[in-house]
Each structure stands twice: as structure tokens, then as C-alpha cells.
A and B are shown apart, each in its own frame.
Chain A
Amino acid sequence: MRRQKALKYMKTDRNTVLRAAELSKLILTEDETEKMVTELGKLAEIIGNLDIGDISETGSEAAQPVSEAREDEVKPSAERDKILQNAPEHTEEYFCAPDTFDKGGDE
């Protein structure tokens, strides 16, 4: 009982665009939504026209022998103050992000 794994082509309508926007954390205006429906629709059509047939085995022939993958060796991690500098906000120990996430509510 394998999971349904076939990729499906979706019709690009208003709902698809709004869903994609939601997943991308984007807020679109009415104009932008309309524009996206048209433009993404065209893109999807081009991709749909490619009709590349069965791709389920694609890549297998290019598979790399796993023996060529990395050896399990520990190397020094980055210095903490350097790695923390990559974030817009941090303390001496932690990266910081806005905590606007729902942590679960009432039953």
C-alpha cells in the first residue's frame, strides 16, 4: 500500500494562485492575483506541453554509488559568534526570530 505519489498537473485558476500565495506567505492584491492567474497559467501550460512521458525511472542511471558518499568524520563546527552574525537578529547564544507561531490552543 504505497502512498499515491504520481505528480498531477493542476489547472491554474484563482484558487490555485491564492493557495500558492498562502503557502509562500505572500499577500496578493486583487490586481496581482489576476496577473498571476494569467502568467502562472501560461507557464504551467508550457510545462504541460513538454509531455516528457514516464519519468519515474529518470535519474536511476545517473545514480551515484553510495560508497562514494562522505565518510562519517567530525570536523570542527563554525565559531559561534561568526555563525550567529549571519542572522539579522541574535543574542550571544541564540538566533532570534519573531515568535508569531501558534503553539496550540484550546481543546
Chain B
Amino acid sequence: MKYETVIGLEVHVELASKSKLFCSCTTEFGGEPNSHCCPVCTGMPGTLPVFNRKVLEFAVKAGLALGCDITRVFRFDRKNYFYPDLPKAYQISQLYAPVAVNGHTEIKTADGTVKTIRIHEMHMEEDAGKIIHSPDGKTAFLDYNRCGVPLVEIVTEPDFRNAEEVNAFLYRLRSVFKYLGISDCKMEEGSMRADVNLSVRPEGSEEFGTRTEMKNINSFRAIERAIAYESARQIKVVENGGTIIQETRRWDNASGRSYAMRSKEEAKDYRYFPEPDLPAFHISDDEIKRCKDLIPEFAEERAERLVREMSLPEEDAALITASRNLADLFEDTVKICGAPAEVRFWFTGGLLSFINETGRDPEDIALSPEKFAEFAGLVVSGELKREAGKKVFRALLESDGELDLRKFIKENGLETLDDGELIAETVRKVIAENPKPYEQYRNGETKVFGFFVGRVMKELKGRADPAAVNSTVRNILGNSLEKHL
């Protein structure tokens, strides 16, 4: 029998507010253990949570971007569970009136298929702390720096059928959240985490099978592996006449397996009730409109527009728009200097390879469009040749956009050379220094012609016009050939 896998997601994303959800401690990643803590986020008796309104703004933006209805009067609820990563023994979350409901977003898989994924709801909640288990298994060491950092949890409907769709959705989510500037969505730092609800059923069946929930999955690759493993496991159980138990399973990436969690904690009863320490909040139409106005054009739409308006190749447009910072830089630079082809040349060749080589975060590239435009202008006007420009552009990037371009060009002698005599002199020098290729050329091996051009360009630090070098080499070699005959 053929089986179909049915998957729903719960995605936790940490929001990039400066301070925590209910206290003024910093949300900065890292730091000495327990150095970003106060009586509120360590759950001391007598403290009260105070809601950070920036988090609401971020959540509303996220909700709108995911096509959700925004709840006008939202509340917080208490989710009780007893585990040392949560010093209060409850998490402040939202159950009865989550901030956003009933959304949808489109995903595109590699073969170009477009599919709509429905969003059940999105709610705000606080993150938990980190537990370090002692080697003897007796003591839990607790670091509450992450405790109280704001999260949104996005709950999808079970609309996914394979890992590729799941990852397409997560990439889309990451791109949207980064464009909104509300999260860096770094899976490796845990600022984006996915729980996978998975069941299998015979193909064509309308009924859902019993699902399991896999937690602790923290990379796109791990999600693929976890889904492949768990659906194979469930199919095997069903085929052998067994039944799937509804349970939480922990994905262990090192062993490539999922394990049932036997803890009694899994007898889930969170005894939710409305959070008595916080009022209900009301969002006005104006506030929603203000958030709506701040929603940018997202990566995919922007890439399509760049292809349409500037005739960029699709791959280039996708690379450029992958980061909002880079896409803004590209478009603003083109606007200033009006030379899209030149900007694209330096962007895809120079800037993107710089990012790849150095592993820099595209969002941290500080080069200004004015500076980039100044550089592109020098090349367009011919003051700087592309070949010599490579060195300048690299230095510009390495200086974080601070480089004084003209000074650098002058100091390194990189300005364009239109001194025909110097070019000719250099050609003669290169020929004199390379008797062997010259001999080959005279014997009719014209392929060494390129060798001479390359050498001359190098001698001249790429400053000369390649066409001029070409014709000079041709002339001098040709003349010498005639003389020789």
C-alpha cells in the first residue's frame, strides 16, 4: 500500500525587541550565564509582568504578513508546567485570544508548484531558560538569560505532505520575518525552532492518522531527516499491524533517530487560565493601519519586479533580494547612479562573493548606496577600469564602505591609463622577458597571443583599456613577425 505523510508545524520565532517580553532585561544573545536576569524573569514572588508593546507591533506585522485576522482585544493566559527551565512553573502564553488567527501564505517548491498553507493561529509567549545537565545526571544547572525573551508561535494547519514543502514554508517565514526586521531567524542560535506534527495514512484516505510531535529540531537539514525517519517509522508500525501512539518524540540529530519521551510531563495538562497579572489589551484600527503601512514588498515579489523592471536574470534577482539590506542597497545604488548593469556586475561578482568568502551576515553589510554609486560612476566614466576596479571594490568592502576611493586609487596607481606609449613600452618589455612564448608565436602558435595580453594587463595593474592592450600587442607582435621574415 502507498502512504501519504501529513504534517503540521508549530514554529517558534524569537522576536528582536531590545528588552524582554515582561521585564526590561536585554534580549541580547549570549552573555555570562544569568547576567540578563531580574526578579521578574526569574519568577520571584511579588513581582509583576509589564507588557512590552514593541512585541505587539512585531506580532501584528507578522500576523498581517501571514494574512491573519488580528484580534482586537487580546489577552494572555497561564500555561502551567513544572520543569526547571521555567522558574515561575508557568509560562505566560496565549490560548483563548491569540493575537492573530486564520491566516495563509503561499509556498513555491523547487519544481515551481505553488501551494497555499493555512495558518491556524499565531500567539505571543515567553521563552524558557537553558538547562545544562550535570554529567552524573543529578543536578540541573540553569541559565535564565533566554527566559522571558519574546516569542511568537505560529501554528499551521496540517497542510504539508513532505519535507520539501515544510522547508519551503520555513524559508519563506524566515525571509518574511527578516524583511520585517522582527527576527534574525537563526536556527543554529535557536531563534527559530520547529516542532513537527506528523501522521501517515493510506493514499487517498480522508481521515487523519494518529500523529506524533517531534521537538528539538534545529536545522533545515535536520527537519528533512526527522520527517523521513518518522514517516518511515510510522509506516513500518502500521504495516506490521501496530498502532501509532500519540506522543511527543525527541529528535536526536546525532543518532538520526527520534525517541519517545517517557516523562510524566507528557501527560499534558497545562491547566490554562487567563493570566491574572496582566490586563486584556485593545488594539486600535490606527495601530493596525500603521503596522500595515510598514509591511514591505517581500523577497519573492521584489525579485519578480527586478526581473521585470531591470531585466535581471532570475538567479541574480533571487540572490540580490535574499536579504532586504542588500536589495535596498542594490535598488538605491541603481537609483543614484542610473547604471543597473554596472551595479549588477559588482553586486553579484564582487559583493556576493565577498559575503560568501568572509561569511559575513548580509544584514551587516554597511556599504552605503552613495558610496557604491560613486564607485560605479568611476567605472562607468572610464576613470577606473573593471580589472583595476576589482582591487578597489574589495578594499571598499573590507573598509565597511569607509574607503576614500580617489585617494586609494591614486595611492595604488590604479587610475585608468591612456598613455599609448607606456602600453607599447610594456608590451615590448613583456615580449623581451618571455622569449619562449615569443618563439612559439613566431612558429605560428597564435594561441599564446592571450598570454601576452594577460601579462601586459597584469604589469599595468589592470588600469589599461583591454581593447587598447589587445591592439597594441597585435601590432607589435605582427610587426616583429614581419621584421623576422
User: Chain A interface (Cβ within 8 Å of chain B)?
Assistant: 1-3, 5, 19, 22-23, 25, 59-60, 62-67, 69-75, 77-78, 80, 83-84, 86, 91, 93-99, 101-107
Check: B338 CB closer than 8 A to any chain A CB: no
B27-73 interface with A by 8 A CB criterion:
32-39, 42, 44, 50-56, 73
Contact call A5/B54, Cβ cutoff below 8 A: no
9 interchain residue pairs of minimum CB distance: A72-B54, A102-B263, A75-B24, A69-B53, A94-B141, A99-B140, A63-B282, A63-B280, A95-B142
Known: A23-B271, A71-B53. A99 touches B133 (CB 8 A): yes
Q: Is the interface of A mostly helix, strand, loop or mixed?
A: loop
Check: B25 CB closer than 8 A to any chain A CB: yes
What residue of chain B has the Cβ atom nearest to residue A25's Cβ?
B82
User: Chain B interface (Cβ within 8 Å of chain A)?
Assistant: 17-19, 24-26, 32-39, 42, 44, 50-56, 73, 75, 80, 82-84, 87, 95-96, 101, 120, 131-134, 137-144, 157, 250, 252, 257-265, 267, 269, 271, 274, 279-284, 287
Partner among B52, B141, B263, B284 whose Cβ is within 8 Å of the Cβ of A95: B141
**Which of chain B's residues have a CB closer than 8 A to the CB of A104?**
250, 252, 259-263
Known: A65-B284, A77-B36, A104-B250. A97 touches B139 (CB 8 A): yes
Contact call A94/B34, Cβ cutoff below 8 A: yes
What residue of chain A has the Cβ atom nearest to residue B41's Cβ?
A77
Contact call A60/B141, Cβ cutoff below 8 A: no
Q: How far is the CA of A102 from the CA of B50 in the complex (A)?
A: 33
What residue of chain A has the Cβ atom nearest to residue B26's Cβ?
A74
Known: A74-B18, A98-B140. A84 touches B283 (CB 8 A): no
Given A64-B280, A86-B39, A101-B140, 10 other A-B residues pairs in contact with their CB atoms under 8 A? A64-B279, A72-B18, A77-B25, A77-B36, A83-B37, A94-B141, A96-B142, A99-B84, A99-B140, A107-B257
What residue of chain A has the Cβ atom nearest to residue B95's Cβ?
A5
Q: How far is the CA of A67 from the CA of B411 in the complex (A)?
A: 56
Known: A74-B26, A104-B261, A105-B260. A69 touches B52 (CB 8 A): yes
Contact call A97/B26, Cβ cutoff below 8 A: no
Contact call A65/B19, Cβ cutoff below 8 A: no
Contact call A102/B142, Cβ cutoff below 8 A: no
Known: A62-B280, A95-B142, A99-B140. A74 touches B24 (CB 8 A): yes
Q: How far is the CA of A19 from the CA of B263 in the complex (A)?
A: 16
**Which of chain B's residues have a CB closer than 8 A to the CB of A98?**
138-140
Contact call B260/A107, Cβ cutoff below 8 A: yes
Contact call A96/B139, Cβ cutoff below 8 A: yes
What residue of chain A has the Cβ atom nearest to residue B251's Cβ?
A104
Minimum CB–CB distance from B18 to chain A (whole Å) comes to 5
**Which of chain B's residues have a CB closer than 8 A to the CB of A70?**
24, 50-53
20 A-B pairs in the complex with CB atoms less than 8 angstroms apart: A5-B96, A59-B75, A63-B281, A64-B280, A66-B284, A67-B284, A72-B19, A72-B54, A77-B36, A77-B37, A80-B35, A80-B37, A95-B34, A95-B42, A95-B141, A99-B134, A101-B83, A103-B133, A104-B263, A106-B260
**Which of chain A's residues have a CB closer than 8 A to the CB of B281?**
63-66, 69
Partner among B37, B54, B73, B80 whose Cβ is within 8 Å of the Cβ of A60: B73
Contact call A72/B53, Cβ cutoff below 8 A: yes
Q: How far is the CA of A101 from the CA of B101 in the complex (A)?
A: 35
Minimum CB–CB distance from A18 to chain B (whole Å) comes to 12
Contact call A73/B24, Cβ cutoff below 8 A: yes
Contact call A105/B259, Cβ cutoff below 8 A: yes
**Which of chain A's residues have a CB closer than 8 A to the CB of B144?**
95
Q: How far is the CA of A98 from the CA of B18 in the complex (A)?
A: 32
Minimum CB–CB distance from A17 to chain B (whole Å) comes to 14
Contact call A94/B142, Cβ cutoff below 8 A: yes
What residue of chain B has the Cβ atom nearest to residue A81's Cβ?
B34
What residue of chain A has the Cβ atom nearest to residue B54's Cβ?
A72
**Which of chain B's residues have a CB closer than 8 A to the CB of A1?**
120, 157
Which of B17, B258, B282, B283 neighbours the largest number of chain A CB atoms within 10 Å of its CB? B282
Minimum CB–CB distance from B250 to chain A (whole Å) comes to 4
Minimum CB–CB distance from B63 to chain A (whole Å) comes to 14
Known: A5-B95, A60-B73, A104-B261. A65 touches B282 (CB 8 A): yes
**Which of chain A's residues have a CB closer than 8 A to the CB of B26?**
74, 77
Contact call B73/A23, Cβ cutoff below 8 A: no
**Which of chain B's residues have a CB closer than 8 A to the CB of A86?**
39, 42, 44
Minimum CB–CB distance from B123 to chain A (whole Å) comes to 11
Known: A63-B282, A69-B281. A78 touches B287 (CB 8 A): no
Partner among A91, A96, A102 whose Cβ is within 8 Å of the Cβ of B262: A102
**Which of chain A's residues have a CB closer than 8 A to the CB of B141?**
91, 93-96
Known: A23-B271, A73-B18. A63 touches B140 (CB 8 A): no
Q: How far is the CA of A64 from the CA of B74 in the complex (A)?
A: 10
Contact call B157/A64, Cβ cutoff below 8 A: no
Q: How far is the CA of A77 from the CA of B35 in the complex (A)?
A: 7
**Which of chain A's residues have a CB closer than 8 A to the CB of B140?**
96-99, 101
**Which of chain A's residues have a CB closer than 8 A to the CB of B279?**
59, 62-64
Contact call B54/A93, Cβ cutoff below 8 A: no
What residue of chain B has the Cβ atom nearest to residue A95's Cβ?
B142
Contact call A77/B53, Cβ cutoff below 8 A: no
Minimum CB–CB distance from B128 to chain A (whole Å) comes to 13
